[in-house]
Structure 1
Amino acid sequence: MIHLSFRFRSAKNPQPTTVSSETSLIPVSAHKKNQQRINWALGLVCLGWSGFLIGCNNSSTVSTLGDWTVKSALDGVARSGASSFVINNIAYLGTGIDTRSQLLQDFWSYDPARNAWSQKANFGGVARNLGVGFSVGAKGYIGTGSDVNGDRLKDFWEYDVATNAWKKIADFAGSARTSAVAFSANNKGYVGTGNDGNYLKDFWAYNPATNSWAQTSGYGGAKREGAVAFVIDNKAYVGTGNSSGTTQRDWFMYDAAADTWTQKLDFTTDQSTIARSYGVAFAINGKGYITLGNGSNSQVVWQYDPATDTWATMGTFEGATRTFAVGFAIGNKGYVTTGSSGGARYDDLWDFDPTIEQSI
């Protein structure tokens, strides 16, 4: 099958719209082949009338790659604002807030090979919401967030997979905060941005070898909360989020080895639905993906290619729209679970394969 995958550059450095083709290896029916011919013809019409037809000059594309599959639901209660990390192809998830607005301490692991959840030792700190998590080597880390009284936290805890036990480590050296972002690179964990009563852009690195935090270069863009981050080739990419009620369009790369932020191309008007807060992000096979959160058309999946600094759409998330969800990657797939929409909380789990045609 031929897919027309439109990629857009920033208005700061506009480029002609390009067309790439991919051949599906999935067998298709005669009916589907006819539909493909129709899609191809419509694509040619779009190319011929680009700039005139709405469907051709915005971020909607003819490409249908990027399929979601529902997996085993979280065995714990439905929640939002949870924290997670991945170690040795196993995801770990816990904390958050449930449908009764009760804060949680329970902790779970998900094994995609078995498509099964297992309960682990409860999180070692107090129950919390809107904290962060990351992993370095065979240890996982969770901290920050807010407690049952709404007080912001700065304590951090280390989880040992081998012993299924938690240990308190050095407190986060920045201010107590919620809605920060976290990632690991260069054998360290990084935590930054968020809200301590004001919007923030500072970043801090945790070194497990010395059990210490050190301040690093602050985020290159505006202060914010509810941003997303993913790591590709030991470089972190951070963006989106909310600053004083405005969703953010800037996009930055962080080189941990050099401790430098490099601005990438901002989202253009055609890419307006990338701008959001409290979305999810993950990286698969050298590409990054963003979806969900607060924003227009939030279920659209956006793919980022760091080699070309371009974005493309990859279908839509097939579960319920939500904010405060958890996203992570294991192997060649991305995963989304938990989250909230209004008073509803979710416990469903979905996996994303960017190589498979989405079923509409």
Structure 2
Amino acid sequence: MKISFPRVLRSKPSTVSSFFKNRFSILIPAFSYTLIWVLWGAILSSCSSEDDVAVLGDWNRRSDFEGVARNAVAGFVLNNVAYMGTGTNADNDRLKDFWSYDPARNTWTQLADFGGEARNTAVGFAVGTKGYLGTGLNANSDRLKDFWEFDPASNAWKRIADFGGTARRNAVAFSVGNKGYVGTGFDGNYLKDFWSYDPTKDTWEKTASYGGAKRLGALSFVIDGLAYVGTGNNNGSAEKDWWAYDATKDEWIEKGDFESDELVQRSYAVGFSIGNKGYVTLGDGSTAVWVYDAATDDWYEQGIFEGSARQYAFGFSINGKGYVTTGSSGSGRFDDLWEFDPTVEQDTDTN
């Protein structure tokens, strides 16, 4: 008998049935605490060893990225296709080539080069049928604030209004509704300001600043219209706070911290969402995969990333699966691509 349990970091008072909701449902009369312990003992005794405990969330290697290995890329997803480019190669050259990946065909296609200067540590987001990319560092390590629009239909770039805040690197970006959002990062100082971009007006507008501390190297994902932002670094200190942004109210809502004695706080990590859950992995010093359940505001561990440990990777999700590619470890750069299926039992012996 194989049983999979979530490893909850932070939870609110709940019933036994809600505790098990990530794996199966059990209905137990509230009056019988004895029955709860009897059932718990029966479940534990049915497992002959740790080998019998299933870990959901399997990684499989897909077609390697066909550009040069790199880190610190930027990108976005449109119509179930991922778009990514820029970054830095192993010689620390800034890059401007741009690519698409189609998971349905497991193929990479080179597209028109990014319209601006070669750069790394930029950000990207998608709104409607267009993608947007900007900020970052150029070949002289100058911080940038230009922004560009990519149209997949014409395979063409067009410069749009410069980012409304200061030129910066290592910001974070996401889109909610018909607007894109960019904030945090580093302009010589650590930042927490946020700005929204309206493609219909080609204008930037300052929005509520991030609810937590200033930082760079954070991550974000969107679940049910709320954008979740956290992790990152503030002057050498790894940040653990976690916040949700409600664009309809222009306000940040504090959520359960990303912390545990067993969890490595991190920056330059990867985040993506599948359904009502967010997934965080890689970054500083760990390949563990951690899951954020937006419905319960809980964190739990779900296996490990099966590729090499790395920072500055690029992550995205399409059709119920997550993907991680590129990144760096020391001076090394990666071009491998990994696909994550949260519904399949992990098998670390097959890759």
Say whether residues 1:212 and 2:210 are aligned partners: no
Residue in 2 that maps onto 1:7: 8
In the TM superposition, residue 270 of structure 1 has moved relative to its aligned partner by 3.6
Alpha-carbon shift at residue 101 of structure 1 (Å): 1.1
Q: Is the 8 A contact 2:231 2:258 kept in 1?
A: no
Give the deviation of 1:268 after TM superposition.
Answer: 3.9
Amino acid at match of 2:47: W
Q: Hey, which bits of structure 1, 4+ residues long, moved more than 6 A?
A: 13-17, 36-39
The separation in 2 between residues aligned to 1:248 and 1:268, in whole angstroms, is 9
Aligned residues with identical type, % of pairs: 57
Code of the residue aligned with 1:323 in structure 2: it is: Q
Match of 2:256 among 238, 254, 265: 265
After superposition, the C-alpha distances for 1:248-291 in whole angstroms (9 at most, x for unaligned) are 11000000111000001123434532x20000000011110000
Residues 134, 316 of structure 1: alpha-carbon distance in 2 compared, 3 angstrom cutoff: same
Determine if contact 2:54/2:346 at 8 Å carries over to the other structure: no
Task: Show structure 2 runs of 5+ residues with no match.
Answer: 25-42
Letter in 1 for 2:328: S
1:41-97 CA distance string (max 9 Å, x none): 457xxxxxxxxxxxxxxxxxx551100000001111000010010000000010000
Query: Counterpart of 2:283?
Result: 293
Q: CA deviation at 1:244?
A: 1.0
Residues 1:69 and 1:284: Cα distance change in structure 2 (over 3 Å): same
Q: 1:175 to 1:39 in 2, by over 3 A?
A: farther
Matching residue's letter, 2:267 = S
**Residues 141-160 of structure 1 deviation map (CA, whole Å, 9 limit, x = unaligned):** 00000000000000000000
Task: Name the structure 1 match of 2:271.
Answer: 281
Post-superposition shift, 1:6?
A: 2.5
Report if the CA contact (8 A) 1:191-1:204 is conserved: yes
Unaligned runs of 5+ in 1: 24-35, 44-61
Task: Report matched runs for 1:307-346 at 5 Å.
Answer: 307-346=295-334
2:169 alignment counterpart:
178
Q: State the AA in 2 paired with 1:269.
A: S
- Residues 127 and 21 (structure 1), Cα distance of their counterparts in 2 relative to 1, 3 Å cut: closer
Q: Is the contact made by 1:63 and 1:314 (CA closer than 8 Å) also made in structure 2? A: no
Aligned match for 2:47, one of 35, 40, 49: 40
- Counterpart position of 2:30: none
For 1:189, the equivalent position in structure 2 comes to 180
Across the two proteins, how many residue pairs are aligned to each other?
Answer: 326
Contact 1:80–1:339 (Cα < 8 Å) also in 2? yes
Offset at residue 8 of structure 1 (A): 2.2
Match of 1:99 in 2: 90
| Aligned residues of 1:152 and 1:178 also touching (Cα < 8 A) | yes
Alpha-carbon distance in 1 for matches of 2:44, 2:260: 30
Deviation at residue 314 of structure 1 after TM alignment = 1.0
User: Residue 125 in 1 paired to residue 113 in 2?
Assistant: no
Q: Output the CA distance in 2 between the equivalents of 1:39 and 1:85.
A: 45
Contact 2:77 2:83 in 1 (8 A): yes
**CA 1:317–1:70: 2 relative to 1, 3 Å:** same
Residues 9, 260 of structure 2: 8 Å contact kept:
no
| Structure 2 counterpart of 1:146, from 111, 125, 137 | 137
Aligned partners of 1:79 and 1:347 also within 8 Å: yes
Q: Deviations over 1:19-57 (max 9, x none)?
A: 55737xxxxxxxxxxxx99992457xxxxxxxxxxxxxx
Superposed CA deviations along residues 278-310 of structure 1, whole A, max 9, x for unmatched, are 000000111100000014xx1000011110000
8 Å Cα contact 2:231/2:238 also seen in 1 = yes
Query: Is 2:246 the counterpart of 1:255?
Result: yes
* Distance in 2, Cα, partners of 1:106 & 1:281: 23
Contact 1:186 1:257 in 2 (8 A): no
Q: Look up the match of 2:160.
A: 169
Q: What is residue 157 of structure 1 aligned with on the other side?
A: 148
Q: Distance in 1 between matches of 2:96 and 2:254?
A: 37
Match of 1:87 in 2: 78
1:78 aligns with 2:38: no
2:60 pairs with 1:69: yes
TM-score, normalised to structure 2, is 0.89
Deviations along 1:324-343, whole A, 9 cap, x unmatched? 01000111100000000001
Q: CA RMSD in A?
A: 2.1
1:152–1:177 contact (8 Å) kept in structure 2: yes
Deviation string 1:166-208 (CA, Å, 9 cap, x unpaired) is: 0000000100000000000021000000000110000000000
AA aligned to 2:141 is: G
Maintained 8 Å contact 1:144/1:156: yes
SS in 1 for 2:143: coil
Given the superposition, is the C-alpha separation of residues 156 and 39 from structure 1 closer, same or farther in structure 2, using an over 3 Å criterion? farther
Change (3 A) 1:19 1:6: farther
1:3 CA drift (Å)? 1.2
1:134 alignment counterpart: 125
